[in-house]
Amino acid sequence: MKEMKGTIRTAFSLVLVVLLAGIGISASAQEAIGVSVGYEYIPHVNFTDPAPGMEDVELQLNTWSFGAAFPLSFGEGNTLLLNSVNYQRLGFNYKGW
């Protein structure tokens, strides 16, 4: 039983070290300001299985997204705080309603 506890403790420690190493790598990866902009357009489409009376209804979708990420350094570079601001707008248009 003691061998099993030791094996579990060793495996847990190894997983914890790998996870913390991954966090450290990703936290130090972004050292500059990042900006993203996106637009997605899906043209008017009919419903696949419409309710009675809605056979001619068409739906159109568009999406706008904006984002910015920036790091803040504290404690003479020992602490890095990553901030991100994102906005997404969904637009729905209907035809034949």
* Average pLDDT score over residue span 9-17: 64
pLDDT of residue 26: 46
Contact 41, 64 (CB under 8 A): no
Separation CA 90–CA 55 (nearest Å):
24
Separation CA 85–CA 69 (nearest Å):
6
**pLDDT tens figures, 32-81:** 788 999 999 988 888 777 778 777 888 889 999 999 988 887 777 777 77
Q: Give the model's confidence band at 18: pLDDT under 50 very low, under 70 low, under 90 confident, else very high.
A: low
Work out whether the CA dihedral 46, 48, 51, 52 comes out positive or negative: positive
